[in-house]
Structure 1
Amino acid sequence: MNTQKFEVLDYTALVKLSFRSKYWRVDHKARTDQWSKETQWLFWGIFIFCVWLCTLSLKCAVLLLFFFDPHYFYYAISYKKSSWYRNTGIRPSEVTRNVGIYGEYIATMCAEENLKKHKMNGRIFNSVMIPKKDGDFNEADIVVVGNFGIQVIEAKARMGTFAGSPVGEKWTQYIGRQVYETQNPLYQNLNHCNYLSEYLYEKIPYLRSIDFINKMYNICLYGLHGVKLSMDKSKLPNMGYLVDMASPGYRDYYFSENLLSDKEVSLICDAISRISYYSREEYKRKMEERKVRQERKEFQHRYFYYIAVITTAGGNKKTVLCRDNKYYKTYYDQEDGWFKAHPNYRIDKVVQTFDSLEEALQIYKS
């Protein structure tokens, strides 16, 4: 538990974190329609003047509700007791200075609200650094574990309008007249799910009969005011969940409590706790070392594909399409077209090998 004393800037930041996003724009530095400094000063002046005018407590309460978001306000005043602060030790003033950190803060708040709303026992982890077999690691923003399964959450503090397919690799981002190509965050988060499945399989031999990927929810939460998701929802991933954090969708969503037993939850939490609590210095050092090795291209591995006959943990045999980079194997899911990790599959026979995904899919689907 963090016991740092907050400074004046931290308490000022807590006020900002309590505001509705359309009145306090954490993303103002990055937006093309940002408020000018004069406009911001004018707003704060009018706000303070209005509070001064509200001498009656009822009027003041109504005014505060107009400007403040009840969810944000409650989480801000409980900041030191929140899962976010206990896990990260990041002070409020740091949250308000960094758009990415702000997005993770709001996503953690939503996850904690979801657990409390449905009275579910769960544990929240932040910045889970999943080790990979080649010496690299994969960082998941937030992981929530409970009887409902494992929620792997990607927090995005973005702006503009996004269009594309929830299962496609790329999306299009529109900011005014500007158009950008960006990676689908659900697709990106699938990698976190896959690597976490492999890690849990290696670290918990007792649970190797469990297919962890089938116990996971791939969740992406968007955290800034004004984000629009113009998605083609004709084809949805069978493990994905995509929503704007400003809406109550994720906070209200009920995850059934029948995927993991209490013992399984305890074992999984113990394994994840080993890779989620780092000091700020340790975290910075790991990121810097990783950057150096990435620049040396130590983590670039070519994929190859093959059709194989496998045996599942339950003893069933089936023919699958496998993607392999000599460190990890993932398997093609015909329902949504994603490659998912099943480390408890045993390959009995390789039928045919391919150099390209297009050729492999053509033969596999024929």
Structure 2
Amino acid sequence: MKRALAKHLPPERYTILHDVTLPLEDGGTTQIDHIVFSPYGIFVIETKNMAGRIYGNQHQSMWTQRIGGQSFRFQNPLRQNYKHTKALAMLLNVAHEQFRSVIVFTDAAQLKTKMPSNVGKPAAMALYIKSFSERIIDTDEVKHIAQHLNHVRLERSAKTNRAHINYLEKTRN
């Protein structure tokens, strides 16, 4: 997705952060694959590195991946990303309406059910982001928000990743 974002979104209008881990109020963390800051909204991108056939719709809590004759269920990524946008809105003190959720499946996935317009493959989702043209955030405010997030994000490190995985495992049990 990094390549698609860099190719389609000019840096003079879009600021992109990758692999952002943020602290949560409960002492845990949330990890966001990509965040695109622009006057047209703050796009929060969840990338699913999955192969095979993907089935699901926006109202189901679980989606299905079918690969090699086996089926696997996984959390609806739209719901997962909603939690990311809510956490960001609270942390940055920005109205939740200024956030836009984007779900990207790698090219190895085959989306077999009709998906919402914010769910797709890398190039299509970069163009989806670029399709927004109504300014909803002042340019200076966009820069301020991106800089603030860069200061509050946790350091990118193996230690941060381990702590995040431990938190996820703890919350699943």
TM-score normalised to structure 2 length: 0.85
Give the fraction of aligned pairs with identical amino acids, expressed as a percent. 24
Alignment partner of 1:135: what SS? coil
More strand, by proportion? 2
Secondary structure in 2 matching 1:144: strand
1:261 — aligned with what? 138
What SS does the aligned partner of 1:274 have? Answer: helix
Query: Would you say the 8 A contact 1:127–1:276 is kept in 2?
Result: no
Query: 1:168 is paired with a residue of what secondary structure?
Result: coil
Residue segments in structure 2 that go unaligned for 5+ positions in a row: none
Question: What's the secondary structure of 1:255's corresponding residue?
Answer: coil
Give a deviation string over 1:319-354, Cα, whole Å, max 9, x none: xxxxxxxxxxxxxxxxxxxxxxxxxxxxxxxxxxxx
Matches of 1:129 and 1:135 in 2, distance apart? Answer: 13
State how far apart, in whole Å, the 2-side matches of 1:146 and 1:173 are. Answer: 33
CA RMSD of superposed structures (Å): 2.3
**Cα deviation digits, residues 199-256 of structure 1 (max 9, x gap):** 011xxxxxxxx52x2111111111133x2112245xx4xxx711122xx422333121
Secondary structure of 2:15 counterpart: strand
4+ aligned runs moved over 3 Å, structure 1: 289-295
The 3 A distance-change label for structure 1 pair 251 and 232 is: closer
- Map 1:189-228 onto structure 2 (within 5 A): 189-201=81-93, 211=95, 213-225=96-108, 227-228=109-110
- Partners of 2:65 and 2:71 within 8 A in 1: yes
TM normalised by structure 1 equals: 0.43
What residue is the counterpart of 1:94 in the other structure?
A: none
What's the CA shift for 1:291? 4.6
The answer as to 2:19 corresponding to 1:127 is yes
- Aligned to 1:113, the other structure's residue is in SS state helix
Aligned twin of 2:120:
243
What is the CA distance between 1:272 and its match in structure 2? Answer: 1.2
Contact 1:120/1:146 (<8 A) preserved: no
Match of 2:30 among 123, 138, 141: 138
Q: Which runs of 5+ in 1 are unaligned?
A: 1-106, 202-209, 301-366
Using the TM superposition, give the Cα deviation of residue 157 of structure 1 relative to its aligned residue in structure 2, in angstroms.
Answer: 1.4
Aligned partners of 1:130 and 1:137 also within 8 Å: yes
- Partners of 1:167 and 1:187 within 8 A in 2: no
Residue type of the partner of 2:127? Answer: D
Task: Report the CA distance shift for 1:276/1:111 in structure 2 as closer, same or farther (over 3 A).
Answer: farther
Report how many aligned residue pairs link the two structures: 170
Distance in structure 1 (CA, Å) of the matches to 2:76 and 2:21: 21
Distance 1:262 1:173 in 2: 40
Identify the residue that residue 278 of structure 1 maps to in structure 2. Answer: 155
Distance 2:76 2:124 in 1: 20
Residue identity in the other structure for 1:169 = S
Aligned pairs (5 A) from 1:1-366: 107-116=1-10, 121-201=13-93, 211=95, 213-225=96-108, 227-233=109-115, 236=116, 241-245=118-122, 248-253=123-128, 254-276=131-153, 278-279=155-156, 283-292=157-166, 297=170
Provide the C-alpha distance between the structure 1 equivalents of 2:120 and 2:77, rounded to a whole number of angstroms: 12
CA contact (8 A) 1:153 1:218 kept: yes
Change in 2 beyond 3 A, CA 1:275/1:127? farther
Q: Which residue of 2 aligns with 1:25?
A: none
The structure with the larger Rg is: 1
Cα contact 1:129–1:275 (8 A) shared by 2? no
